[in-house]
Every structure is written in C-alpha cells, then in structure tokens.
A and B are shown apart, each in its own frame.
Chain A
Amino acid sequence: MSFEPKILGFLCNWCSYAGADLAGVSRIQYPPNIRVIRVMCSGRVDPEFIFDGFEAGIDGIIVMGCHPGDCHYLEGNYEAEKKFNMVEKLLSFVDMNERIRLEWVSASEGNRFAEIVTEFTDKIKELGPSPVKDPSKANVLLKNINALKMSAVSYRLRALVGRERALTEQENIYGEKVSLERFNDVFENAIFDEYVRNRIVLSLKEDTKSVKDLAIELNMDPSKILSHILILKGRSQVSMDKIVGITPLYISTLEE
C-alpha cells in the first residue's frame, strides 16, 4: 500500500477556509489527506500547535491565511508569518522544516487552494512518513521536538517574535529602528540557544550529568554547554546536584 500521509491544515475563517469551501462548491478535486482545523485568523495559530501535531504523528502541517493586506483582522497574517518563520527555523534543527508550509489563499481562490493542497500532499508523500514514526529515531527525535516546543513557548522567543514588527518596522521613542538584518542575527542566535538550553534541561531531567556528558550527548563544545548551564542556573531551571571527584553534576529543576 502506498504511503498516505496525515496532513493537518489550519485555515483562517475569512479567506482560506472560504477558499476551501469554494473549491468544494466548484467541485475541484484534491487529495483526501488533509484535515482542517478552522481558526478565526491565521494569527491564532500558536507555534506550540505545530509541535503538538508532529508529536502526535502528523506528517505535514499547512497554515493558510488571507493574502497580505487582506486580513479580516488587519494584520493577523503578518504575525502568523513571523511565528511561522520561527517554527521553520526551529524545525530545521531536526530536519523537519520541509514538512510545514504557510500559504495565502483568498476566499475567491478555490482553485489555488486545491492546487496548494495537491502540491503539498505530493511533497509530503515524497518526503515519506514523519521520522517520529520511525522507532529507531523516535526516542531522541521526540525529545528534540519537545525541546523545540519548549523553546517556542519560552518567554524569550515569544517576546522576540511578538516584538519583531514593532522593532523592525517602527521607530522607538528615541527615533531608532532595528534593521531586519540585525534583528535576524539576534533572533537566530536566540532560537538556537533556547533550543540547546531546553535540550539540556530535558536531558538533565532524566539523570544528573556533567558538562562533559552533555557535550558528548549533544555533540557540542563543552565551554558552550557550560555557558548555557550558567544561564539555566540563573533562571532556576538547572541546579548543581553533587560533585563527584572534581566534576560537578547538574540536575533539572523543571517541574512536570
């Protein structure tokens, strides 16, 4: 039997959901793999939802909103795009960024909706089943996805995404504006740092570990791990459990 992927679509009520309805009214046929969750605005799609979907074994996720400038809520789709970009970067760490898509579909674009769904379904078929479903990979991968999700809901990344447009498009009270380039630099570093930190926290939840253990597990430079540990200690997410010989062992203080 050929692989039939599970595809999840988040559609905004006003444009893309209406476009999907129009595809129906016009009897435009497309692959039956997609299941739609209706939201009022694409801006409602919390980055968390995407990771929940992948954790649940969904193979591909598509978010659709109104074309730029057409948003029923004025600017929700711009916010959706910023969030999507963050999720895409996060997913690239586990090589799953091709399994998500953001598209603009208007209420009059039944054809376009069907084309996008067909094309995206083909793409996911080509990529094959989600690696989450591969027993040899699932264990580590789910841990990584969990760390990605924790990053996506972390204060730091959410504050950065939430402020991106204000920072890069409007001047502050001193008449300063952050260039998109500079913002992206900061943002990309923040995304990676948060991911690694959450990965450390999760790893330390299983067992107490030394910086060296973590460096081997995560295949990273020990000095970098140490600097992350120090920050996590400052945030009270990690503490020192004991010292064995001259090596301090750390433990996660994260509550369930």
Chain B
Amino acid sequence: MPDKISEEKKIGVFVCHCGTNIGGLVDCEKLAEYSKTLPNVKYSEHNLYTCSETGLAAIKKAVQENDLNRVVVASCTPRTHEPLFRECIEEAGLNPYLFNFVNIRDQCTWVHMKDPEAAYEKSKDLIRMGVSKAEKLEELEKIIVEVNPSAMVIGGGVSGINCALSLNNQGFKTFLVEKDKELGGRLKELYQVFPSDKQASELLNELVAKVKEAKNLTVYTSSKLKSVNGFIGNYEIEIEQRNHNVNLNVGVIVVAVGATSYKPLSLFNYNSKNIITQLELENKLRDNQIEANDIVMIQCVGSRNADREYCSSICCMTALKNALIIKKREPNRNISILFRDLYTPGTIYEEYYRKAREAGVLFIKYTPDKQPIIDKSVVKVYNQYINSEISIPFDLVVLATPLIANNDNRELAQLLKVPLEENKFFLEAHVKLRPIDFATDGVYICGSAKWPADISESTTQGLAAASRAGTILSHKTIEVEGATAYIPDWNKDLCKGCEVCIKICPYNAIVKDENNEIQIIQALCKGCGTCASTCTKKAIVIRHFTNEQIISEILAFGGEKVA
C-alpha cells in the first residue's frame, strides 16, 4: 500500500440522501455533480443511504473500479459513523485514515430547514473543505502495544472488592489497594442494607472471605497510590504502604475509591446527640440504642441546594429502610419523613415506600424555599396542602446527608490523568456510550467514585469495570489510536528543546531522552494537539490534523488569500 501515497490523488465523493433527512432539503445529485468539479475528485455518486449495505458496497466497488485512494462521505456525523466508513474503505484495500467525513445533516440540513438554498450552498462549501483536507490525508498505522495481564483496583469497598474478585476469577493477577486498615469502605459503617435487608457485616464478611480465598488477588491495606507511569497495557505503579513503597506493574487500573459521608456541621442544629445523620442512626440501630419515641427524618440535607446541586440518590431509600427497621421493632413509635421529592425507582424500591406507608410512617413534603426549622422540641414545617405551618414534636431528628466526593480525589485524578466533574466526582468518558471507561485508555471507573451509588449499583458497576478491563487484559497486544503527535525527521532540527510542550502535555507523553532530545511517547499520546499549537518552533505535527490539512480547509472556505 505505501506506494499509493506517491501516486496521484484520486478522491471519491459519496453524497448521502439519508432518506429525506438530507435529500429532502438539498439536491444530492447536484452536490455529487458539483463534487466532480473539485480538484483531484475522480469519482462521485449519491446514495439513498451510504451507510447501508448497498451504500458500503457502492463505495468498495467505486474504490476498486476507479482506483480511488481517498474517500469522502458527505452525510451525518463522524461521531457516530466514521468507524463504519473507515472499516469499509479498509475492506476495499485502503488505509482507514484516508477517509474524511463531511457533516451535511446534523450541522446543515437539520438546522437550516427553512432555507434550502442556503443549506445547499453550505453543503457545497463543506464538501469543498472536506475534499481539500482529504487530498492532504496520509496513511497512518495503528500503534501496537503489549499488554501486561494484570490489574490494580484502587479502593476496597463494595465496587472495588467485586471488581477485584471478578478479575481474579477471570484469571488475571489483581492488586487491590485500600487506604484504610481494613477492606469494606462505607459498608463497614452500615447496619442493614436495602433491598435485601441483609446485615451489612454479613455481606462484608462474605466478600472478605472470598477475597481471602482468591488465588490471584493481593490486597494492600493502609496503602496509598504514590506515582503512576506508563500507558494502557503497561502501567508502572508505586504505592506507599505504611512506611515502605511497593512497585507494581499492571495493564489496567480501576478507580473504585467510593465517596465520603457529609457531616452537616452547621445545618439543622446538628449535634450528633438528638440531631444525628442517617449514618449515625445506623450505629444506634446496630446497638439497639433507640429510645426516642418521636422521630423526624429530614431529607436532602446539604444536597440539591446551591452548594451541592446534585441528588445523592441513596438517601430516600436509606430513610425508608431505617424507618421500617424501627417500625418493625417498635410499631408504636412515630416517624415522620420530611422530603422534597421521594425517589424510589423500580418495583422493589417502590415496595419499601408502600410498606413504610402501611407501617404508618408519615410523609410530609417541604419546599426548598420553606425549609423545616428545628425549634427546641419541635420541628416546624410548612405543609403546602393545608397551606400552614405544622409543628411535629421530636426526641430524635435524623438528617439525610449526601455522599460527597473524597477530598483526595483531585490528587488521584492528577496522578491518573483523568478528569473530575464539577462536584469533584470522577468523570467517565461518555455517560451513555462509555459509562465505565475513562477517556484515558486502560483506566476504568465504578461505584460511588463516579456518583453516589447504592450497593446493588456498586456491585453492578464493579463487575462491569472488571469486564471492561477484561477486554484489554485478555489480549496479548492491543492497537491504540494512530492519530498522535510526533516530530517528523525533517522537523528535528527545528526543535530547540524549550520544553514548553513537556509542561503542557496533560498525559506526560512528551519527555527528553538521554540525548536531550524531545521524544513523544506514542502510546501515551491521545492526539489532542495542544502541543503542536504551543510548540515554539512549530516542530510538532499532529497526525490526521496537521497544520496543512486544517489550513487547506480554511482556505477552501475563505477562498484563496485575498491578497
């Protein structure tokens, strides 16, 4: 194939009708005709659906019959369909990177429906820009890296333990790193868990027993991550256990660090005596220490407000569960739950709500602008249905506080080069398409580190992370993205070693080697391109998004320089 690079550029353009999505507004036949007038375009056609079997076959046929060496498809969006067309031209014998996408649907016909003429002109411009970039595309090879078939799971709570056990069962050497003295995470603090009503200690003991039996699993307690180097398949880790350091080599990393319970220090006269949190209530339940007769639970304390806009998702169920435990022991105790909205999704959780009502738990809705007030021995709350304030006597107030992000998340995120969201929880690569992955290859996330999760959710996510990790660990080698930064040989002299690129690279992919020359570690580079636009000597080139390619698009739109 390499000989094709030096060959004459022969571009094929395929304009997709996308049914009526594009073809209903603009004349795709005319667009295909227009494409033929562009430089280096040797072939063009229009298809009802270019992504269909027929459309893909048409591309392959045209590539072979016309000896095309670049393909442009004008249709929907590269975010969904680029992989499909890349694969198609690869099957036709071309390097997959010799493909360029032109978005004339999502960013054209769908958004200019009232102006077909302008949409047609815009489609022409976009195709012209796409063709001019295509002409400058180069073949790229995917980078092959070897995989060390072992994993590190950070955090020994429910999600972390389940993840580590699953990896162990798949036969991968696994290291479970926990910062506390013992495994268990938040589970250690709980009494009885929903929806099974099992004792938390019993569940934990079962998990710990499995960990002890696991042959491939090594646990490091009282340990903290100190440094992380390397890339997918080949991470070099240093952890600090008490006073000594341990070095580990793993192929993937799972973040399962969980979350922290929030202490409502300045809210609702919290005193941890007769005004306590749900977590403190769990302890009292375990020790059977509840003497209070009138119990008022207040939901959404410290969450869904200006400081913390999110819903902690576990507190409604926690309150229902704890209320039911008390009611079961002593049906005559009075329990009122003051809530803003009660979330009990699914049949099983909704059943808790029904049971709580049947058991006589009183539910009173309050609104954020009229918060309940604790006044000596009563809780005053405005009831919107009777349009007046009511006073509920109490011996014990229980505040439902949210899980908040651990305060060392930032530190860990920096070590791993992964992002946090606005509330400092870890942020996945894509909420729907890649919910367990980080954007950084080979690093995964599960449990409350991402978002407050209950035990079944944490377990599910832990297992999901293990299977995502397994997709990497089960291979001897893997391919990583080829559109990376590099310094071409002909630019080597330009580099003066100013090191600005080293500082701004978010992935530590740029280093100085023993000869004092800048090296870009291909497997670490994610191809963001910030180094190239920063490089003081313009020596760094970003494959697939080179300056020449981007400038050719600019000029194809603007027209040749006015001067």
Contacts and interface: CB of A to CB of B under 8 A. Distances in A.
A133 B534 contact: no
A35 B125 contact: yes
A214 to B, nearest CB: 22
Contacts of A69: 419-422
B163 interface: no
Given A138-B563, A142-B563, A158-B500, A44 B122 contact: no
B5 to A, nearest CB: 23
Interface stretch (A14-22, A205-213, A248-256): A14-22
A6 B534 contact: no
A105 interface: no
Q: Which residue of B427, B504, B545 has the most chain A CB atoms within 10 A of its CB atom? A: B504
A37 B103 CA distance: 10
Contact of B78 (A38, A39, A47): A38
Nearest to B78: A38
Interface in A23-79: 23-25, 27-30, 32, 35-41, 43-49, 52-53, 55-58, 69-76, 79
Contact of A35 (B419, B427, B547, B557): B557
A132 interface: yes
A74 B105 CA distance: 30
Nearest to B538: A153
Nearest to A165: B504
Contacts of A76: 506, 528-530
A114 B110 CA distance: 12
Contacts of A128: none
Nearest to A37: B553
Interface residues of A, number: 61
> B interface, how many residues as a size bin?
35 or more
B79 interface: yes
Interface stretch (B111-119, B238-246, B279-287, B467-475): B111-119
B534 A29 contact: no
A46 B419 contact: no
B503 A75 contact: no
Given A39-B545, A40-B528, A40-B529, A58 B554 contact: yes
A191 interface: no
Contacts of A158: 500, 534-536
B498 interface: yes
B427 A44 contact: no
B536 A56 contact: no
A36 B113 contact: no
B217 interface: no
Contacts of B439: 14, 72-73
Contact of B115 (A20, A32, A35, A74): A32
B79 A58 contact: no
B533 interface: yes
Contacts of A72: 419, 429, 439, 528
Given A36-B103, A69-B419, A49 B551 contact: yes
A52 B114 contact: no
A29 to B, nearest CB: 6
The 10 closest A-B pairs by CB, nearest first: A56-B558, A44-B529, A43-B530, A24-B106, A162-B500, A73-B528, A32-B118, A46-B533, A24-B110, A41-B528
Interface of A: 6, 8, 13-14, 17-18, 20-21, 23-25, 27-30, 32, 35-41, 43-49, 52-53, 55-58, 69-76, 79-80, 83, 114, 132-133, 138, 142, 153, 155, 158-159, 161-163, 165-166
Given A35-B557, A38-B78, 19 more contacts: A13-B79, A14-B439, A24-B105, A24-B110, A24-B111, A27-B111, A27-B113, A29-B113, A30-B111, A32-B112, A37-B553, A55-B561, A58-B554, A72-B419, A80-B530, A133-B562, A142-B563, A158-B536, A161-B534
23 contacts: A24-B111, A27-B111, A32-B111, A32-B121, A35-B125, A35-B557, A36-B103, A39-B545, A40-B545, A43-B528, A46-B532, A47-B533, A53-B558, A55-B562, A56-B558, A69-B421, A69-B422, A73-B528, A74-B419, A79-B533, A138-B562, A162-B504, A166-B503
